Structure 1
Amino acid sequence: MNTDLSGVNWFKSSYSSSQSECVEVAWLVEGGVGVRDSKHPTGPALIFTPGEWDAFTAGVIDGGFRRPT
């Protein structure tokens, strides 16, 4: 998939405050979600479909990505 990300509005979590090591997210016109590293804004970005994004965020909320202790 080759998506033009030049005009999208990237944002990061309000929990990030002024830290520079963050993940940024963008809602894309086509309905997808872009994710990139804030330290490398011109670098590659991951593009998720709405269903993939919903599954990912549901997994985060349910604790599905916690490290085993």
Structure 2
Amino acid sequence: MSTALKWFKSSYSGSEGGQCVEVALTSRTIHIRDSKSTPVDGPTLQVTPSAWAAFTAAR
């Protein structure tokens, strides 16, 4: 039985609306998608928590 991911808007997204990055967390994976062009079951980028931490620290 699979559990649906709970998506939320990344704090790194702007407040302009329409173009945001959404993320969903699991214990082993960070799922990332572009909300304006990704349907509910569309493609996502998946990275490890350590890769996500390195990416967000490099801003």
TM-score by length of 1: 0.64
Please list, as runs of the form range in 1=range in 2, the aligned pairs for 1:2-41 lying within 5 A after superposition: 7-13=4-10, 16-17=14-15, 19-28=17-26, 30-39=27-36, 40-41=38-39
The structure carrying a bigger strand percent of its residues is: 2
Please report how far the alpha carbon of residue 31 of structure 1 lies from its aligned counterpart in structure 2 after TM superposition: 2.3
Task: State the structure with more CA Rg.
Answer: 1
Gap regions ≥5 residues in structure 1 = 61-69
Q: Percent identity?
A: 47
Write 1 or 2 for the structure with the bigger share of helix.
1
Higher RCO, 1 vs 2 (CA within 8 Å, ≥6 residues apart): 2
Unaligned runs of 5+ in 2: none
State whether structure 2 residue 42 is matched by structure 1 residue 49: no
What count of residue pairs does the alignment treat as equivalent?
55
* TM-score, L = length of structure 2: 0.72
Superposed CA RMSD in Å reads 2.2
Tell me how far 1:43 sits from its aligned partner. 2.0
